[in-house]
Amino acid sequence: MVGVDVGGTFIDLMVSGNGQRLLRKTLSDPDDLAGALLAGLGLVADELDLTLDELLERTERIIHGSTIATNALLTRNGARTALLTTAGFRDVLNMRRGMRSDLYDPKQAPPQPLVPRQRIHPVAERVDSQGMVLEALDEGSVNRAVAGLRRAEVESVAVGFVFAFANDSHERAVASRLRNALPDVHVSLSSEVLPEVRLYERLSTTAVNAYVTPVLADYLESIERRLADNGFRGRLLVMQSSGGVMGLEPAARFGVRSILSGPAAGPVAGLWYAGLHGISNAITADMGGTSFDVCLADRGEVEVTKETEISGHRIALPMVAVHTIGAGGGSVVTVDDRGLLQVGPESAGSTPGPVCYGRGGVRPTVTDADLLVGYLSAERFWGGRLRLDEAAAREAFRRQVAEPLGMDMVRAAYGAHQVVNANMVDAIREVSVRRGHDPRGFVLVAAGGAGPIHACAIARELEIGLILVPREASVMCAAGQLLSDLRHDFVRSCVMSLDRLDRDTVEGHFRDLRRAAVEALLAEGVPRHRIAVSCAADMRYVGQFSEVEVPVPETALTEAAVARLAGDFHRIHESLNGYSMPDAAAEIVNLRVVGRGLADTEPMSARNGSPATALTGRRRAFFEDGFREVPVYDGHLLTSGEDVAGPAIVEQETTTVVVTPEYRLTCDAYGNYLVYLNERGLAESLARVKTGQAEAQGT
C-alpha cells in the first residue's frame, strides 16, 4: 500500500508492506502534480531496487490526499458553474445568511460568488416540507434554463430545490434532462450532496461541489491513466475530509468531500500512535512547509465538525476539525511598518522556497531561522539531498530582519523562531482551551518536517508534559491514509419532537440509511465482516438554531431507548455548551449513519539499532541563554529505551527533533520518540496524561 499526500511544498509518500515502512518526500510541482507524484514514486522504487513499473505492479492500493479541490476554491480556479433553483429563491445562495464575518466593519464586502446571478436560473416547481408535490415541475422553465446554460458555456451545474431533501423527484428529472442536453457538463444535485434541511447551507455546499469537482475529476482521471501506463493495476482511493477514504467513483462525483483531504489523515495517525501507549487524548500538531494544522482527539475520537467556511463559502459536511494557520517552514519573516516582527501567513512554498534552499528565494523564512540558530544541519538536511546555503540565509536575515530591528542577526532569527511558536501555541489553544479542554491532559503528537523542531517550546508554553514524535512524523498525513477506514456518510432530515416521536418512522429511516451504507461499502469491495455501521441523531432544544450529535446505539427505539437518548442529549449539550435544560422540549433534526470499511493495518514492527553509533557529533545551537554545544544523534540508530538528555538534537532524514534543556527524549519499542520533562520522568508524564483522560471520561 502507498499513502500519498500532495501538499503545497512537498509530496509525502509512505509505502507499507511485509511489516516494513518506507517514507519519502519530494518537492511538489504545482504545474505538474501528477508528474511530481510519479517522480516521488520513482525515488521509492530506487530505494527498493525496483523499477517504477515493478513497484506499481506490486502495489495493491494507493490512497491519495491532496489540496486540489481546496486550491481550486481558494484560487478561484474551479469550473464555470451555474445553479438551477426553485423560482422565487434565486438569491438565497448569494444572500448567504445575511451576516458579516466582522460585525464591526460596515464596509466589508461579501466573498466573490462562485455562481454570479446571471448564471442562476429559477425553475417553476414546489414541494412542501413533507415531500408532497404542490406544483409540478414546469418543463418550459427547465427548457429556458437549459438554453441559458448552453449560451453561457457552463462546465458544471448545481441543482438545488427548496425541499428536495424530502422529495428529490424534481431534481432527478432535471438532472436527466441536463445530462441528455449537455452531456459534457457535470451535474450536482443537492439531494445527493447534502440531503438535509437548511436551504442556504445545502445550496452553498452543492455549489462548491459543482465548482471544484470537475477540476478534481480531471486530475484523478489523469493520475489514474498515468499510473496505469506505468503498470498499476490496484485500486486508487481518495482521502475524504471526514477522516475516511473513498473510491474514485464517488470522488469524481463529490469533490467537496475531499476539500480538506490533505490534513484530515494526520489526526487519524496521531491518535493511532498515541494508542500504542494506551493514550486516547491527543493533540496532533503538523507543521509542514506552508501551514500548521492542529486537531484534538478526545476519548479516542478525532473531533469532527459538520460545518465550516472556506474562502467565505459554507460547507455543511462532516470534516475532521483541523484548525490551520499559515505557519510552516516556508513562512516568510518580515518587519512591518510598525517595526514589529511578523511570521507568515505568506509562504515561500517549494518554488522558490526558503533562501537557504538555493532555488531563487530571496525572503527569509522560518527554515532559514532554524538553520541560523543551529537546529538544522546544512549538510544533512533531507538526507543530504539538498545542501543548505547558510551564508545566503544569514545575509537575507541580516538585511531584511536584523538591521530593521536594530539587533543581532542570531537574536533576530531566534526571535522569528519564538514568534512562530507563539502563533502555533495560540492555534492549539483554539482547539483546546477555547473549547473547554485542558491541554495538560493530552499528549502532543508533533508531526511534519518542521513540527518536532518546535514541539518542546510549544509544549512548555502550554504546560504539556509529554510529547510523542512518531518515526514517520514528516509524512504523518500519508501514514494516516494507510490507517484510515473506507467511509461513507448518510443523512436524512427528520424533524420530530422527542415527546411526539414516531418511532416506527425513525426506525424505518435508520434501516434505509444502514442498508445504503452497507451496499456502498460492499460495492467498494469491502468484505461484510469488515463493515461497521454507527447511527446518530442531530438534536437540539426546540427553538434552537444549532444541534449536537448524539449517538444512537440501539436498533429498536423503545420508550427506554428514547429516554436514554434524551439523557445523552442533555449530558452532551452540557459538556459542549456549559448548560442543559432537562425540563425543556428536545427534538431530532437529522438522522445520520456512518458506514466504515475497517482498515486492515499492519502491526508496527520494533526497530533495532546500535546505540554506540547513534551519536554523530556536536554542534552549536541557540537557546534562551545563548549558544550551547549540544550532542547530535542519528535518530535512525537510536534503540528502544535509549535516553537522550536535553539540550540535544536528534536528526532523521526528513525531520529533526530539538530537545530543549528542560526535556528528555527516549526511544520506544517502535522507534517513536517520547519527549518528557526532566523533573517528572517518563513514568509520571505518561501517568499524568492517562489520569487527565480518565478524569475527562468520568472514570
Least confident of 77-81, 183-187, 285-289: 285-289
Q: Do 42 and 168 reside in the same domain of the chain? A: no
Q: Do 8 and 82 reside in the same domain of the chain? A: no
- 345 domain-assigned: no
For residues 31 and 509, which has the higher predicted lDDT (pLDDT)?
Answer: 509
Instruction: Give the pLDDT of residue 605.
Output: 55
How many CB atoms neighbour CB 506 within 10 A?
19
- 236 domain-assigned: no
Instruction: Give the pLDDT of residue 34.
Output: 80
Q: Is 608's pLDDT higher than 60?
A: no
Q: Do 37 and 101 reside in the same domain of the chain? A: no
Q: Do 103 and 198 reside in the same domain of the chain? A: yes
- 622 domain-assigned: no
Q: Do 214 and 83 reside in the same domain of the chain? A: yes
Instruction: Give the pLDDT of residue 225.
Output: 92
Instruction: Give the pLDDT of residue 19.
Output: 66
Closest CA to 350 of 10, 2, 695, 11: 10
In Å, how far are 366, 608, 674 from 665, measured between CA atoms?
24, 17, 6
Q: Do 154 and 211 reside in the same domain of the chain? A: yes
Q: Do 86 and 194 reside in the same domain of the chain? A: yes
Instruction: Give the pLDDT of residue 70.
Output: 83
pLDDT tens figures, 227-283: 999 989 999 999 999 989 998 999 999 999 998 887 888 899 999 999 999 999 999
Q: Do 25 and 111 reside in the same domain of the chain? A: no
Beta-strand (E) ranges in 217-349? 235-239, 245-246, 282-287, 292-298, 301-302, 304-305, 308-310, 313-315, 319-320, 323-325, 331-335, 341-347
H/E run at residue 123: strand 120-123
Q: Where are the alpha helices (DSSP H) in 622-696?
A: 682-696
Residue 573, SS3? helix
Rg of the chain taking only CA atoms, in angstroms: 26
For residues 250 and 102, which has the higher predicted lDDT (pLDDT)?
Answer: 250
* Residues contacting 297, CB < 8 A, separation 6+: 267, 270, 271, 274, 280, 281, 282, 283, 284, 303
- Of 159, 184, 218, the residue at which a domain comes to its end is 218
- Of 165, 189, 218, the residue at which a domain comes to its end is 218
How many CB atoms neighbour CB 431 within 10 A?
20
Q: Do 103 and 5 reside in the same domain of the chain? A: no
**Whether the Cβ atoms of residue 4 and residue 64 lie closer than 8 Å to each other:** yes
In Å, how far are 15, 248, 409 from 633, measured between CA atoms?
25, 43, 27
pLDDT tens figures, 351-390: 788 999 888 889 999 999 999 999 998 888 877 778 899 9
Mean predicted confidence (pLDDT) in 185-189:
96
Q: Which residue has the cell 467498494?
A: 524
Q: What angle do CA 389, 395, 397 make, to 5 degrees?
A: 100
Mean predicted confidence (pLDDT) in 49-55:
90
Mean predicted confidence (pLDDT) in 395-399:
93
Least confident of 65-69, 164-168, 591-595: 65-69
Q: Do 45 and 172 reside in the same domain of the chain? A: no
Mean predicted confidence (pLDDT) in 626-632:
93
- 453 domain-assigned: no
Number of domains in the chain: 3
Instruction: Read off the pLDDT band of 15 (50, 70, 90).
Output: confident
Q: Is 611's pLDDT higher than 50?
A: no
What is the C-alpha separation between 641 and 24, in angstroms, rounded?
A: 26
Indicate which CATH number applies to the domain containing 94. Answer: 3.40.50
What is the C-alpha separation between 418 and 410, in angstroms, rounded?
A: 12
- 413 domain-assigned: no
- Of 162, 187, 218, the residue at which a domain comes to its end is 218
**Which residue range forms the structural domain that includes residue 26?**
1-58
Q: What is the mean pLDDT of the chain?
A: 89
For residues 149 and 387, which has the higher predicted lDDT (pLDDT)?
Answer: 149
- 147 domain-assigned: yes
Cell numbers at 299, concatenated: 476519548
In Å, how far are 373, 622, 660, 685 from 628, measured between CA atoms?
10, 6, 11, 27
Give the bridge partners for 667, in sequence order. 673
- 312 domain-assigned: no
Q: What angle do CA 381, 386, 389 make, to 5 degrees?
A: 85
Cis peptide before 345 (omega within 30 of 0): yes
Question: Above pLDDT 90, what percent of the chain?
Answer: 56
Q: Do 32 and 84 reside in the same domain of the chain? A: no
Q: Do 200 and 93 reside in the same domain of the chain? A: yes
Indicate which CATH number applies to the domain containing 575. Answer: 3.30.1490
Cell numbers at 323, concatenated: 484548525
Sign of the torsion formed by the C-alpha atoms of 658, 266, 28 and 232: positive
pLDDT tens figures, 472-505: 888 888 888 988 899 999 999 999 999 899 999 9
Mean predicted confidence (pLDDT) in 651-666:
92
For residues 591 and 654, which has the higher predicted lDDT (pLDDT)?
Answer: 591
Q: Is 638's pLDDT higher than 80?
A: yes
Beta-strand (E) ranges in 498-579? 531-541, 548-551
- 285 domain-assigned: no
Q: What angle do CA 558, 560, 565 make, to 5 degrees?
A: 95
Query: β-strand 235-239 against 245-246: which pairing, if any?
Result: antiparallel
Mean predicted confidence (pLDDT) in 336-348:
87
Question: Above pLDDT 70, what percent of the chain?
Answer: 96
Q: Is 69's pLDDT higher than 90?
A: no
